[in-house]
């Protein structure tokens, strides 16, 4: 398909998605290079900056503002369709039975797999505050909404929903912070959990529950994973400020 074959709506969606992806890549790589530069210096200032305890809070706040604010602005400017993002009204009479069944069944599935994996891997679980979990849920669903808003105009309302979590996983691998977490036992599991919740949320969204059903799926799935982790393994110390970084 050449650019001349694209409709105006498709071009708008593609431009909006590409702009967010470019900003994400530039920011994540820039922060990574800045952190490497600080690690190569051993002055009191560089050490103080590296170990500033509020970096995780700043990172999560920036991620939340970008991932939630951006798709909302794109809907207001008509670059994204409100239906593709998931902001249109939901027919709960038809969707609620499916949503409850899928969320409950998906939570059991996530919890069982999560607990089983942690027991086999023998790694201590890491878990921040529930406020940080809530922020991550909103940020991850926000980036999923951006992916849907970009892909559904091209792939259609069915395949676009399924391609969104796949596109998130591929784009996230360009984040050097996430790649470093994937190489560390005890942290890679949290990345895998986030990806699993992306797919669970996509299933619930596909059955008509909209963005609210997807958020509920992520929340219930996170609770199930935490319960399974408490049963499976002891708790590890919190991740240091130098290592913590929000994912795509």
133: left (phi over 0), alpha (psi -120 to 50) or beta: alpha
Residue 235's pLDDT is 57
Distance separating alpha carbons of residues 239 and 133, to the nearest angstrom: 14
Whether the Cβ atoms of residue 102 and residue 204 lie closer than 8 Å to each other: yes
- With DSSP H G I counted as helix, E B as strand and the rest as coil, what are the percentages for the chain, rounded to 5? 80, 0, 20
**Quick one: which of 135, 133, 144, 134 has its CA closest to 86?**
144
Alpha-carbon distance of 111 to 76, in angstroms, equals 37
Binned at pLDDT 50, 70 and 90, residue 189 comes out as confident
Please tell me the predicted confidence (pLDDT) of residue 244.
45
Q: What is the pLDDT of residue 105?
A: 95
pLDDT over 90 percentage in the chain: 58
Q: What is the pLDDT of residue 62?
A: 92
Which segment, 59-73, 123-137, 180-194, is predicted with the most confidence on average? 59-73
- Beta-bridge partner residues of 218: none
Burial class (CB within 10 angstroms; exposed 0-12, middle 13-18, buried 19+) of 24 = buried
Confidence (pLDDT) at 131: 87
pLDDT value at residue 45: 82
Kindly tell me if the per-residue pLDDT of 12 is higher than 80: yes
* DSSP structure class, residue 88: S
The token pair that represents 207 in the structure block: 């059955």
For 154-175, write each residue's pLDDT tens digit. 999 999 999 999 999 999 988 9
Give residue 42's pLDDT band: very low, low, confident or very high (50, 70, 90): confident
Mean pLDDT, residues 173-185? 88
Q: Do 84 and 152 contact (CB within 8 A), yes or no?
A: yes
Confidence of residue 248 (pLDDT cuts 50, 70, 90): low
Mean pLDDT confidence for 203-208: 94
Q: What does pTM read for this prediction? A: 0.87
Tell me how crowded residue 227 is: count the other CB atoms within 10 A of its CB: 14
Beta bridge partners of 235: 125
pLDDT for 100-131, tens place per residue?
Answer: 999 999 999 999 988 888 888 776 655 568 88
């Amino acid at each position: 398909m050449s650019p001349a074959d694209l409709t105006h709506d498709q071009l708008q969606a593609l431009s909006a998605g590409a702009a967010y992806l470019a900003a994400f890549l530039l920011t994540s790589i820039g922060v990574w290079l800045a952190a490497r530069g600080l690690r190569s210096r051993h002055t009191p200032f560089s050490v103080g900056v590296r170990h500033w305890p509020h970096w995780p809070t700043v990172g999560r706040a920036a991620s939340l503002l970008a991932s939630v604010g951006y798709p909302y602005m794109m809907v207001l400017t008509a670059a994204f369709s409100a239906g593709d993002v998931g902001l249109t009204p939901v027919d709960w009479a038809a969707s609620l039975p499916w949503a409850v069944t899928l969320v409950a069944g998906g939570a059991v599935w996530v919890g069982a797999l999560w607990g089983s994996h942690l027991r086999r891997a023998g790694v201590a679980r890491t878990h921040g505050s529930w406020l940080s979990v809530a922020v991550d849920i909103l940020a991850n669903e926000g980036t999923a909404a951006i992916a849907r808003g970009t892909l559904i105009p091209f792939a259609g309302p069915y395949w676009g929903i399924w391609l969104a979590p796949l596109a998130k996983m591929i784009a996230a691998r360009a984040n050097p912070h996430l790649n470093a977490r994937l190489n560390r036992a005890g942290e890679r599991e949290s990345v895998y959990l986030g990806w699993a919740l992306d797919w669970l949320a996509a299933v619930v969204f596909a059955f008509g529950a909209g963005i609210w059903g997807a958020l509920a799926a992520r929340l219930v799935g996170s609770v199930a994973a935490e319960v399974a982790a408490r049963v499976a393994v002891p708790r590890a110390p919190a991740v240091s400020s130098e290592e913590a970084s929000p994912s795509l």
